[in-house]
Amino acid sequence: MTEFETHSAAQTEEVAAFLASGLRGGEVLLLSGGLGAGKTAFVRGLVRGLGGDENEVSSPTFALMNQYEARLPVYHFDLYRLSGPEEVEDLGFEEYFFSGEGVCAVEWGQVAGGLWDSLKVIRVMLAGEGEERRITVEGLHDFTDFGRLIQHGVCVRDAR
């Protein structure tokens, strides 16, 4: 498990951009946190870190899925309005999750229940108030260079 502490939306985006540098395609990032926790800000940084236009990123709450072009396509899902795994399957979203192409960033992934059980996922938990965030990342194994983040004062510790 790796933890980061950020003090602004820009720092939250910087953490995501840093993490994006190690993504190769096929990753499913499950983003959890309450309303306003910074999940969409995290995706903005992810898209920027993959070479895409962060200004295109918006919450997919009503669209359910937004796609962003980058070094790897980013599929940004918000399952908040769905009632359960059956609805996720009815919409065909699991095709994205299991395709191995691009990066899936999924807000409110708990709605999909056990759909994630056979996948290697990266869990990103965002918590905090105001601009302060604690970002906990689980399932990440290839990131050892935290120097750049430490310089910016956002990396708390690597608790692997």
**Which tens digit of pLDDT belongs to each residue from 48-92?**
999 999 999 988 888 899 999 999 999 999 999 999 999 988 888
**Domain annotation for the chain: domains and CATH numbers:** 12-129 (3.40.50.300)
pLDDT at site 21: 86
DSSP 2-41: EEEEESSHHHHHHHHHHHHTT--S--EEEEE-STTSSHHH
pLDDT in tens, 30-46: 999 988 899 999 999 99
The reported pTM is: 0.85
In the structure, what pLDDT confidence band is assigned to residue 147 with cuts at 50, 70 and 90?
very low
